[in-house]
Amino acid sequence: MAGPGQLIFDASGDLYSAALGGSFDSNCLAVGCGLIFELTPGAKGRWTENTVYDFCSVSGCQDGDYPSGVILGRDRNLYGSSYLGGDINKCAPYGCGTIFEIKP
């Protein structure tokens, strides 16, 4: 994982962010397509990292590629945008980007 964005807290004290890394696809550059991760606080100040979503899980990165960050909605879902991915027919070869919603 590299280049995490701004961290956001939820009501439970968990942290979320978007970063480069995760899956590699032919549409992604050398750092991976991007992911959304969660950090959960544990005992003695230790944190546990979990991948919430790994981008480019849909053929041709239709679900997005290189997420730029996340915000937490009132519904407790994560929302954000990606720089690339989506419809590669309109912005070949990497797509125009996406808007996404993820239920953590």
How does pLDDT run across 20-70, given as a tens digit for each residue? Answer: 887 766 666 666 789 999 999 999 999 999 999 998 866 677 888 889 889
Report how many domains make up the chain.
Answer: 1
Give the pLDDT confidence of 81-99 residue by residue, as tens digits.
Answer: 998 888 888 887 878 899 9
pLDDT at 4 over 90: no
Asked, for residue 96, whether it belongs to a domain, the answer is yes
**Which domain does 55 fall in, by range?**
8-102
Q: Does 1 map to a domain?
A: no
Q: Confirm whether 92 is domain-assigned.
A: yes
- Within a domain: residue 2? no
The C-alpha angle with vertex 42 and arms to 38 and 34, in degrees rounded to 5, equals 15
User: Residue 2 above 80 pLDDT?
Assistant: no
CB neighbours of 72 closer than 8 A, spacing ≥ 6? Answer: 8, 10, 16, 78, 79
Residue 3 lies in a domain: no
pTM above 0.85, yes or no: no
Q: What is the pLDDT of residue 30?
A: 63
**Is the residue at 93 inside a domain?**
yes
